[in-house]
Structure 1
Amino acid sequence: MRLFIIITFTLTLAIPAFAGPVEDVADAERAFAKAFADRDSAKFFAMVAPDANFLGFRTLRGQDAVAKGWSRLFEGPAPFSWGPERVEVTADGKLGLSTGPIYDANGKHAGDYSSIWQKQGDGSWKVIFDGPGSAPAEAGKVEEGFVKADDGTKLFYRKVGGGPVTLIVPLDNYLHDQFRQFANIATVITYDPRNRGRSQRAKDESTWTILQDAHDMEAVRRELKVEKFVPVGFSYLGLMVAIYAMRYPDRVSRVVQIDSAPFSKFANMPREAPDLGVPEAAQRRLAELHAAGAREKSPKEYCEAQWDVWKYFFVGNPAHASRFDLAFCRQENEWPINFDRTQQHIGGSIETLGITAEKLQAIKVPVLTIHGDKDRSTPYAGSVEWTKTLPDARLITVKGAAHMSFLDDPVTVFASIRHFLRGEWPIGSVPAK
């Protein structure tokens, strides 16, 4: 039984990679999960076959037993969510296997489900077997330390897992806890770029550039003796990993971009007027601290108050703002008084890059671009452009998600990445045309 009972742009997209019975089963699984999320028990149980078997601590045999056993899970908010990562259908098109991740109400990976679907006489699909599920990956021992960039700047890293595929993910301070779930299939290396997180603040400000960030990624790879890997870049670092792939093509096997900054300049994004759901108390506290000069006098407290407001800007659903972890405010590099200077330098360096569509043809490996269609920070249209321009790229649109799409919809984001790491395009990925 699942959980052991416990992102304004119009485009035409090509036909999904998994059209046909596979997509039908994936759609059925998504509808099943949506009914659960919407608390629509009637629709949910209608998708359970009369002779279904749900395997948990005890086996629930038949639709009535499933309804009785699962009814309590419809009391209050949905305790977990799930979605398909892998779907396979028998040659006769009558049975489909669906597996994928489960996330708890806080967006934390809680395990994986497995279900078998049966095609009905009317063409619909119903669950015939569900479970048993599996526990989340045991990350095991976490190695951590510092590696030196070419100029001697110390870069903090953490390494976990021992799988055949290696991921290198910048922004350890934000993303380590999100990506350690891949430790069962990959070796996961997260690190903080210079001037970020626990890494050293470089004295030479001329090195505070996105190109230097790409060279620093190479230093991480070299010092940790990785031959080939999958770089994963979130936000402006989505642009950086593409730069890395152009500069060091022999070192990458695939590339993942999440809510990436665009490679070409877009018109200023409209700032939304609607209420983002920020509590008045949080807004008032930030205003008071700002008026008192806390940005300089009490930088940690100011950081926490600022992000307690800003986090609502980065999610599409205000309810998901609670998933935003403010622990990074303990790190001096992340205090606004320091962070803002770093980002001003990075932003200025991006303005002078001059990346063209022609230059991007140098990236020959598959690129998976994931973006929330409600992103208020980096334009969703930018990821459409990435997908249209790169030689071998596909796009996953995270509907209703903002800049941190993995907080709004971890199921779609991380199931897509996991499938991509297996060497296949994920369900729902499409090439733009």
Structure 2
Amino acid sequence: MPKLEVDGATLAYDDEGPRDGDAVPLVFVHGWTADRHRWDHQVAHFGELRRVIRLDLRGHGESTGAGVRTVAELAGDVLALLDHLKIERFVLVGHSMGGMISQTIALSHPQRVERMVLVNSISRMTYSRGRGLLMGVSTLVPYKLFVAANIQRAFAPGYPRERIREYVRASAATPREVVMTLYGAMRAFDVLDRVGEIRTPTLLVHGYHDIQLPLKQMLRMAKAYPDAEVRIIDAGHELPVEKPAELTAALDRFLTARV
């Protein structure tokens, strides 16, 4: 597993798949408290067809570093990695916070983004009353309890509890400073009034049962996009692992469709 030093952080990443095809690389960006393995199913599929890149964002998974205060700074890390790999043009696939990072890159470097897929993501962070209360008491409860409450509500009813516990343990390994700082970054994120500028062909995929970033918020974003394709799947917020085959199939159709 290669690593890259970027502004006080060490970014772990994977760079897989054939280099000799005509297709531009796919770049997978995970969400808050997750890591690059959220994309295992998608990378296993597309890595046989084209070059795929995925990374652990700073402070997540096997990457180190903290201190970023904005989604734009995280986008800078992703771009630094792609510059290091000499990848000029690419397809972005971002989940949740990773979708916010993807939109930031599409707005700042539109010439580099061939297509974009936003999975369970939005353009303006608006919390439900329940989520707001949960975040409000975050400093009053043990950190692991706070993480467990956030992760458990991310899955649709019926998802295996033993799998949820695995994700809770992995998320709790993310340093508290990173988690809370990036919560603030997401709360401040708002590009809803600018997404009309994005002319990149875009697929919006969302879980019907997502209560972290509710479907109605994504549909409000969809109205602002000039020409976005929308796909709703019977899942919660953690679509890449709840319904991996369905998400991969949706990506496959979008990536092979003529623009």
Q: Structure 1 stretches (4+) deviating beyond 6 angstroms? A: none
| Change beyond 3 A, Cα 1:218–1:259 | same
Shift, 1:392, TM fit: 2.1
Tell me if the contact between 1:179 and 1:188 (Cα under 8 Å) persists in the aligned partners: no
Cα offsets for 1:273-306 (capped at 9, x unmatched): xxxxxxxxxxxxxxxxxx9x7x6xxxxxx58x96
Matched, 1:241 2:76: no
Residues 146 and 267 of structure 1: CA distance in aligned 2, closer, same or farther (over 3 Å):
closer
The answer to whether structure 1 residue 177 and structure 2 residue 40 are counterparts is: yes
1:81 match: none
- The equivalent of 2:198 in structure 1 is 363
The separation in 1 between residues aligned to 2:100 and 2:63, in whole angstroms, is: 20
**Structure 1 partner of 2:178:** 342
2:39, 2:240 within 8 Å by CA — same for their partners in 1? no
Query: Does structure 2 retain, via aligned residues, the 8 Å contact 1:165–1:185?
Result: no
- Superposed counterparts of 1:41-120, under 5 Å: none
1:417 aligns with 2:254: no
2:117, 2:77 → 1: CA distance?
18
1:23-422 equivalences under 5 Å are 144-149=1-6, 151-162=7-18, 163=21, 164-171=23-30, 172-180=35-43, 181-202=45-66, 205=67, 207-260=68-121, 262-266=122-126, 268-270=128-130, 307=148, 312-324=152-164, 326=166, 329=169, 334-335=171-172, 338-357=174-193, 359-399=194-234, 401-422=235-256
User: What's the offset of the Cα at 1:229?
Assistant: 0.6
Contact 1:323 1:407 in 2 (8 A): no
Q: For residues 349 and 382 of structure 1, what CA distance do their matches in structure 2 show?
A: 18
Q: CA deviation at 1:362?
A: 2.4
The more displaced of 262-271 and 222-231 is: 262-271
Q: Among all aligned residue pairs of Structure 1 and Structure 2, give the percentage whose two residues are the same amino acid.
A: 24
Deviation at residue 410 of structure 1 after TM alignment: 2.5
Q: Give the aligned partner of residue 80 of structure 1.
A: none
Q: Distance in 2 between matches of 1:407 and 1:317?
A: 14
Q: How far has the Cα of 1:146 moved from its partner?
A: 1.0
Superposition deviation, residue 378 in structure 1: 1.0
Identify if the C-alpha distance between structure 1 residues 265 and 234 changes in structure 2 by more than 3 Å, giving closer, same or farther: closer
- 1:148 is displaced (CA, Å) by 2.7
SS in structure 1 of the partner of residue 153 of structure 2: helix
The whole-number CA distance in structure 2 between the counterparts of 1:194 and 1:208 is 12
Deviation at 1:310, TM superposition (A): 5.9
Residues 269 and 379 in structure 1, CA contact (< 8 A), matched pair in contact too:
no
Gapped regions of structure 1 (runs ≥ 5): 1-143, 272-290, 296-301, 426-433
Q: For 2:13 and 2:168, how far apart are their aligned partners in 1?
A: 15
Deviations 1:171-197 (A, max 9, x none): 344324222221122211110111111
Whole-Å separation in 2 of the counterparts to 1:351 and 1:311: 18
Number of equivalences: 243
Give, in whole Å, the separation in 2 of the partners of 1:249 and 1:346: 24
Q: Which residue of 1 aligns with 2:137?
A: none
Does the 8 A contact of 1:175 with 1:190 survive in 2?
no
> Which structure: larger Rg?
1
Distance 2:172 2:156 in 1: 25
Q: Which runs of 5+ in 2 are unaligned?
A: 132-140
The one-letter amino acid of 1:390's match is Y
- The alpha-carbon deviation at position 266 of structure 1 amounts to 3.2
